[in-house]
Every structure is written in C-alpha cells, then in structure tokens.
A and B are shown apart, each in its own frame.
Chain A
Amino acid sequence: MHKVEFEQLEETLFHEKLGNGLNVYILPKKGFSKTFATFTTKYGSIDNHFVPQGETEAIKVPDGIAHFLEHKMFEKEEGDVFQEFSKQGASANAFTSFTRTAYLFSATDEIDKNVKTLLDFVQTPYFTEKTVEKEKGIIAQEITMYDDQPDWRLYFGIIENLYENHPVKIDIAGTVESIQNITAEHLYTCYNTFYHPSNMVLFIVGNVDPEQMMELVKEDQAQKTFEEPTEIKRIYPDEPKEVAIKERVLEMSVQKPKVFYGIKPEKVDMIGTDMFKHELAAQLAYELLFGRTSDFYHHAYENDWIDESYSFDYSLENGFGYALIGSDTHKPEILIKEIKQTLQKAVEKWPFGQEDLDRVRRKKIGFFLRALNSPEYIANQFTHYAFNEMNLFDVVPVLEGLEVADLQNAFALVSHESQHSVFTIMPTKKDA
C-alpha cells in the first residue's frame, strides 16, 4: 500500500492498485463521524459509440443509457439495494455525468458492511426485460422534471450551441423517446464493457482505519472473478473548432430572461499536468475577468444587468470543455454586448499583472482548504482528477507555480469570436 503525506494540508492518502486493475484510495479523516465512499466507473453519457467487450465491431447505443444503467444497478433479484443500505444506516445515491457514473453511500455506522454492499451491488448486474420496462416510467418523469427546469434547459441549450457532433451535446438522461429503445441486453453490453475494475476507482474518505479497510477491499475483490482487462475502444466524432450555433432563443415559463454566453476551448486534448495547469490558469483568468472583484461584475451589477443568479465557470475534460458566463437579466442584449467587449478588450491588451494573480490565487487556495472539510467534495473531485491522470492534492503546488503568462496563454485558447455562442431563454409571450 502506498502512503502519500501532504504535510502542509495534514492529510495522508493511501493507495493501492489491485490485481484486477481497481484503483483504491483511502483518506482517513480525524474527528469525523461519517464515512463517505464512492465507487466510480469512467463511463458517462458521452460513451455512446464503442467496441463492446469481446467484439470487434463498434456499436452505437440509445441516448441516456449510462444514466438508465445507473438506475437499474440498484435493483436486484432479491430486491432493492436502497433497502439494504437503509438497514445499515447508510444513505446511498448515484449520479451520471458526461464522463462518469458514480455510486456512493455515506454512513456513520457499520462501515465495513456498507463498503461490502457497495462493492457487491455495483459488481452484480441484474437486468430483466420486465424491470427495464418498469424503469422507463420513472426515468420519463425525471426527464420531464428537468424539461421544466429553466436553468437546466439553459445549460444544455448552450452546450448544444457549442458542439456540432460531440455527444456532450446529448442530454445525460436522453429523451422520453430514446429511452424506449433501451433493452436489458443493451444494459449488459454497456455494463460488461465499462464496469471492469480496471476502469473504476474506489475512494473512501472519513472515519476509517486505512490498513484494515484496504484489507477488506482486497479480500472482497480476490473472492470475485473478472475477465482479463482489455483496452476499451471509445469512438468520438471529429469536432470543428467553431461553435455549431451562434445564437438561439427558447421560450419558457420564466419571469425574466436568462442568458448564457458560452465559449468553446480550442484545445481539448490535454491530459495530466498540462490539463491541470491549463484548467486552473483558465479558471483564474476567468475569475479576474468575470469574478466578483472584476470591473465587469461591478459595472454589470450596479447597472442591474445581472442579479444574484449570476455565475461563471470554466470546465475541461478530455475531448470537450466550456466556459460559461450567465445570469437572469432584464437586459440580455446589453449583457451579451458587455461580455463580448470584456473578452475583446482582454484580447487586445491583457489587463492583469502579478498583484491580480496573487490575489485570485490566494482566493483559490482558501477555497480549496475550505473544501477539504467536505468528504463529498474530496471524493468527487479526486475521481474527476484521477480519471484525467491528475492528483487533487497537487492543486496548491500547481496553483503556486502559475505565472501571469500562463493565465494569458490559457485565455488565448478561448478568446476567438468563432468559438463564442449565446443561448437565451425568454418568458413565454402571454396570449392576448
């Protein structure tokens, strides 16, 4: 078992890669009652075109299948896994993102049993045509619920604008129509391809003894048999640099317009340290341009072009990414113009120096230290970084190594006008 100490943070991370390829990480947290565990596969909504395990021909699967599979994992021949966790005082959950499916529980008691339950249920698929059919009603209601949420529609609206071919533009849950085509056989195909231990990470954080816990996991895994790990062949379409749609408007039942200004990064093939450095540099650049201390924010807030819903974000994965700036606003046109001008001015002359960098860097380090109080944050972020060959606990040193030029370079990759797009939700016009 490897032990990595992060002295300044006073954290020790334990790691072992098991014989079947599973990466296990354990982070003991003193003083905490709870233990939080996530069991995550590197399989999300974008993995819809791939060569199934043991075959040679690539297939395309229905939209929303990774999410559907996530739902169905909880049901077993003997009943619902939620019931099992409840008996052991644990609350369990799961989520599917573009790139990952995570199963998790948190509990303050019976941790060993709960870890066993987590490993067992994720590693024992059970799907029948009947149970698959039954789930369609529940997921259809979930999709309908999201359809009524303007913030979700806004988020997906802008991503659809940015991407022409990449499956990131497909809603994670699919559509009410697309899920009708999902069969138990599909689920087994996806499960067998993507749920191999070598494609997964187990992260346990909280009130645990690392040695004892690692033994428990090793023993559990040794008792189970898995196929030899094979490389997963995922197929992604070519994606142009330019955005797919420059501008689009949707009408919904909202009281005032909502806008997202989206930017598609030019370079999305980074991995490891390069990706880490770029993502953090771009986040700091956006913080300076659009954060709460920026001229833009001050100006926009005082003039009532933005309100408390204002947000900005820069996010990167292997293969896609996006910067988003948006708010509910009575003045969508002016707000869009202001964002455009702010970007344009920064292209013409980079406005920030060392002092600005130091300030936002301190802010980001402080945020990171605060976040280390949250087992949920640690587990989720750690896995995101691990799947992209980075280590969450390197955030502070990477931040400390950034220079003004890094921010400027990161910004340069997302500054071209052809990579920009706008999505707006307008209140439904009332019938006279």
Chain B
Amino acid sequence: MFETINIAKGVNVHVNETTQFKTINFSIKFKDKLTNEKASARSILANVLQHSNEVYPSHTALRMVLDDLYGTSLYIDSSKRGNEHVVTLNVETVNDQYLSEKGVLEKVLNLMYIVLFKPNFEHELFKESIFLREKNAIVQRIESVFDEKTRYAQQRMMELALPNHPASITSNGTIKDVENVTNEQLVAEYKEMVTENEIEIYAVGDVAPEMIASHIREFFHFKDREGSIAVPPLELVKPEQSHVLEYEDMKQGKLHMAFFTPITFRDEKFPVMQLMNGVFGGYAHSKLFVNIREKESMAYYVSSSFASQFGLMFVLAGIDSKLEEKAVTLILEQLEEVKKGNISDIELGQTKALLINQLKEALDSARGQIEIYDQYMELTDKFEPEFMINRWKNVTKEDIAAVAQQLSLEMTYFLSGKGDEKDA
C-alpha cells in the first residue's frame, strides 16, 4: 500500500501512489508523549499555526490563498493514541490533471512549509493577540463537550474511573492547563515539536513516491532527531467508586459502563477481543442491539466499543432514567451469554464479515488509509488488509468466550435527568 522513504533520522515519508482518488492527500504527524500540560499547549499550538503565519498574517489572507488553490483544505488537529499526543497537519488538494492550471502541487507544498515553519512571530513570541484568541478558542472547545450529553457522560465516567491516566486525558487537555500556558512555553513547545519530534509524513494520490520525497526534502529541510522514546503502557488502577449517579437538566438517561480487559492492541489476542466486542455490542446483529433494543424496545442506541490502546471496553445506552437497573441487568446477562460461549455460527460469521467489510471500506478513503497504516506500523512493516483478515478468520467461539471471561466491570456511570432527582 505505502512505500516508505526515510529522509532524516526520525522522519519518514510514506506514499501510496494510486489513481483511486481525484485529489492528493497529505498528513504530517508530529508525535510526542501525552500529558495534560502537553495536550493543552499543543492544542493551542495547532490552532495558532492554522490561524496565521509570517507570509499570511491574518486568517482571512490564508483562507483566500487556499480558496484560490481550488479550495484546498488545510487544517491542523490534535489527537491522542494511547500514550502519544499527535499534532497533524492535514491537507487535501485537487489533482491538477483535472484542472487547466498546473503547478498547484508545488504551491500547496510551499504553503504547508510556510504554515509549519514561518510562524507569525513578534519579538520571538507568537503574536500576542492571536495567542490569546486561540487559547480562548481551546477553552471554549473543551467547555462545549458539556452540551453533548453522550460525550459529556463518557468524559465524566473516564475522569472518575481513571483520573490523570492517558485514557482520561483528552487531546485538548484541561481548561486549567490551557489557561496556564504562556506564550514563552508555547514557543518552546513549538520548537521542540518541529526539531525533536518523530515525524511521519503521508501522501496518497496519483503521485510518485520519489517525487514527493524530493519535494519534501527540498521544501522542508527536516533535520535528524531522536524522536520520543516509547513509553510503556500505564497500568489501569481500580476506580474509587464502582457506581456513580449524576444529574443534569435533560430528558434521557445516559448509561455508561467501563470494563477492563488485559488485552490491548499489542496483544496477540487483540483480534479475538475485536470479535468479542462485535458479537456483544458492536453491530446491528449483536446481542445488545437485538436484545435490549429490538426485543425490549428500551433504547434507540445501545452498543459496546473496544478502546484497544488501553484495554478498556465501554457499553453506552440511552434509556429512560427509571430503567437503569433493568438495563444493567440485561446488559450483564448478554455478557454472560458471551462468556458461556453461547454464540451461534451465524453471529460469528456476521461479525467476521462486518469487521472485514469495515476495514476494506475504511481503506477506500485516503484519510482512512493514512490512519490505519499509521496505527498498524507498530505491528507490521507492510500493512495489507490480509494482515487482519487472516487473524480474524481463525478465531473460534471458545476463543471469544475466553477473552470475555477476562473482562471485569469497573464502573457504572449514570447521567440522569433532573426531573428524576426526587424519585431517586
């Protein structure tokens, strides 16, 4: 899929030359370890760099150039994966073979260089007004999670279950940490990011790997770097409380359950756990969907998900607030079924078919190819879909039952409507 060219120590270019897409996609990923402080600073940094630079000092000026380049999309996001924090510059531009104008690609690469390496400095600091504005934007972004009650409930549960653990640190950090970041710290963080971080550069489109690598060498001049040393995964510690009930002014109750599993992305049982999650609550044919939604008519959504980086499995359901106990009982009953190996051949076959379909489908988007390849790089040098498909194929019901038996319920969190407070 991707051809890798090393252009400096700790800096790799991965290119997938393909005519599948009418556009060319780039991602430049800067990887560092994850802490609340770093996540906070680097989220501000992502916004500041995206907002302006030396050549295009205003947001408007930068956006106008992008519009002129056939609406090239350019954004910088901050995300996390396990113990890592990743700042990514994402660019998608039209392939100029569909246009009458040529030379668009060079212009776009030059713009990417400007965005990353020509910041809008004043007296060796980021322009103060922009620094303050973008700091404020991140605070508002963190606050806005509260408005979406499903996301908010999940975040509350994580804070309560695993305080200060990478699993509960968000990619934007905390309001307090964002507010504490100074302009000086941000400049230091910026310098560290561009000179010391490990960098993975991706390109997907009708472009030759050597051509992209030589453009990158020419435009970016990346120097050697050590990169961050891989931090071993942190142990999960038992939450202080196993059941938490909170209230908000809302109508639907939000049930969130957290289970620990010793199996993570790096474990050889990882594919088994993916299947277990699929059979249990990952799909519309799963035990949770069929029994809680279709048979009991209790919920519109009820599903499970596997956070493979940390060894966590979650169950989420939106239910009437009065039915918490009943829902928990029914969910655990379904888990018991999986533990006992009460899985039909059909259920097993459906889950395998859908996992395969999902993977292949994800690879039909350039962004999907980049994210999957970047993640699996840790496990295999040359990722192809068969790498996972073969592992899933051999999994049996007994294997699934065995990993299900290793799950332990650590916390049940229920966010309930305010109107129900009196009855509770």
What residues of chain A have their CB less than 8 Å away from a CB belonging to chain B? 8-10, 30-34, 80, 82-83, 86-92, 106-109, 134-139, 141-142, 144-145, 147-151, 252-256, 292-295, 297-298, 301-302, 304, 307-309, 328, 359-360, 362-367, 369-370, 372-375, 428
- Distance between Cα atoms of A136 and B356 in the complex (Å): 34
* Shortest Cβ distance from residue B399 to the other chain A in the assembled complex, whole angstroms: 20
Nearest A residue (CB) for B64? A293
Determine which of A86, A144, A309, A360 lies in contact with B285 in the assembled complex, contact meaning CB atoms within 8 Å. Answer: A86
Q: Do the beta carbons of A370 and B361 come within 8 Å of each other? A: no
**Provided the pairs A87-B349, A144-B318 are in contact, do residues A108 and B71 lie with their beta carbons within 8 angstroms?**
no
Nearest A residue (CB) for B138? A308
- Distance between Cα atoms of A307 and B250 in the complex (Å): 24
Q: Do the beta carbons of B360 and A34 come within 8 Å of each other? A: yes
* Shortest Cβ distance from residue A222 to the other chain B in the assembled complex, whole angstroms: 30
* Shortest Cβ distance from residue B206 to the other chain A in the assembled complex, whole angstroms: 10
Interface string of B198-218 (1 = CB under 8 A from A): 000000000000000000000
**Provided the pairs A144-B318, A255-B147 are in contact, do residues A370 and B94 lie with their beta carbons within 8 angstroms?**
yes
Determine which of B129, B249, B354 lies in contact with A91 in the assembled complex, contact meaning CB atoms within 8 Å. Answer: B354
Q: Do the beta carbons of A328 and B140 come within 8 Å of each other? A: yes
Interface string of B262-277 (1 = CB under 8 A from A): 0000000000000000
* B363 CB within 8 Å of chain A: yes
Nearest B residue (CB) for A176? B251
* Shortest Cβ distance from residue A331 to the other chain B in the assembled complex, whole angstroms: 13
* B188 CB within 8 Å of chain A: no
**Provided the pairs A87-B350, A109-B353 are in contact, do residues A369 and B23 lie with their beta carbons within 8 angstroms?**
yes
Q: What is the count of residue pairs linking A and B with beta-carbon distances less than 8 angstroms?
A: 193
Instruction: Kindly name the residue among B58, B66, B70, B141 whose own CB sees the greatest number of chain A CB atoms within 10 A.
Output: B70
Determine which of A31, A88, A254 lies in contact with B147 in the assembled complex, contact meaning CB atoms within 8 Å. Answer: A254
Nearest B residue (CB) for A81? B284
**Contacting residues of chain B (1-59) with chain A, CB-CB under 8 angstroms:** 18-23, 58-59
- Distance between Cα atoms of A8 and B99 in the complex (Å): 8
Nearest A residue (CB) for B93? A366
Interface string of B334-357 (1 = CB under 8 A from A): 000000000000100111011011
A147 contacts across to B, CB distance below 8 A:
251-252
* B113 CB within 8 Å of chain A: no
A134 contacts across to B, CB distance below 8 A:
297
* Shortest Cβ distance from residue A7 to the other chain B in the assembled complex, whole angstroms: 10
Q: Do the beta carbons of A428 and B71 come within 8 Å of each other? A: no
- Distance between Cα atoms of A365 and B69 in the complex (Å): 10
- Distance between Cα atoms of A87 and B356 in the complex (Å): 12
Given A362-B67, A366-B93, 10 extra CB contacts under 8 A? A9-B98, A31-B21, A91-B354, A106-B357, A144-B252, A145-B301, A255-B146, A292-B63, A308-B144, A328-B140
**Provided the pairs A82-B285, A145-B318 are in contact, do residues A89 and B60 lie with their beta carbons within 8 angstroms?**
no
* Shortest Cβ distance from residue B133 to the other chain A in the assembled complex, whole angstroms: 7
Chain B: interface residue count, which band?
Answer: 35 or more
Nearest A residue (CB) for B286? A86
**Provided the pairs A147-B251, A308-B141, A365-B71 are in contact, do residues A80 and B294 lie with their beta carbons within 8 angstroms?**
yes
**Provided the pairs A9-B98, A109-B353 are in contact, do residues A92 and B284 lie with their beta carbons within 8 angstroms?**
yes
* B248 CB within 8 Å of chain A: yes
Determine which of A30, A252, A328, A363 lies in contact with B70 in the assembled complex, contact meaning CB atoms within 8 Å. Answer: A363
- Distance between Cα atoms of A304 and B135 in the complex (Å): 12
- Distance between Cα atoms of A136 and B297 in the complex (Å): 8
- Distance between Cα atoms of A307 and B349 in the complex (Å): 46
**Provided the pairs A87-B349, A254-B146 are in contact, do residues A304 and B136 lie with their beta carbons within 8 angstroms?**
yes
Cross-chain pairs A/B with CB under 8 angstroms, 15 sampled: A31-B20, A33-B360, A33-B361, A86-B354, A87-B346, A139-B300, A255-B143, A294-B60, A298-B60, A366-B70, A370-B22, A370-B92, A370-B94, A373-B23, A428-B249
Interface string of B113-151 (1 = CB under 8 A from A): 000000000000000010001001100110110111100
- Distance between Cα atoms of A255 and B175 in the complex (Å): 14
Determine which of B248, B297, B358, B366 lies in contact with A253 in the assembled complex, contact meaning CB atoms within 8 Å. Answer: B248
* B319 CB within 8 Å of chain A: yes
B361 contacts across to A, CB distance below 8 A:
33-34, 106, 108
**Provided the pairs A144-B251, A150-B147, A309-B144 are in contact, do residues A33 and B71 lie with their beta carbons within 8 angstroms?**
no
- Distance between Cα atoms of A254 and B148 in the complex (Å): 9
Q: Do the beta carbons of B143 and A256 come within 8 Å of each other? A: yes
**Provided the pairs A89-B353, A89-B354, A135-B297 are in contact, do residues A369 and B94 lie with their beta carbons within 8 angstroms?**
yes
A135 contacts across to B, CB distance below 8 A:
297
* Shortest Cβ distance from residue B415 to the other chain A in the assembled complex, whole angstroms: 10
Determine which of B298, B358, B365 lies in contact with A141 in the assembled complex, contact meaning CB atoms within 8 Å. Answer: B298
* Shortest Cβ distance from residue A30 to the other chain B in the assembled complex, whole angstroms: 7
A108 contacts across to B, CB distance below 8 A:
356-357, 360-361
- Distance between Cα atoms of A397 and B298 in the complex (Å): 50
* B320 CB within 8 Å of chain A: yes
- Distance between Cα atoms of A388 and B71 in the complex (Å): 27
Nearest A residue (CB) for B298? A137
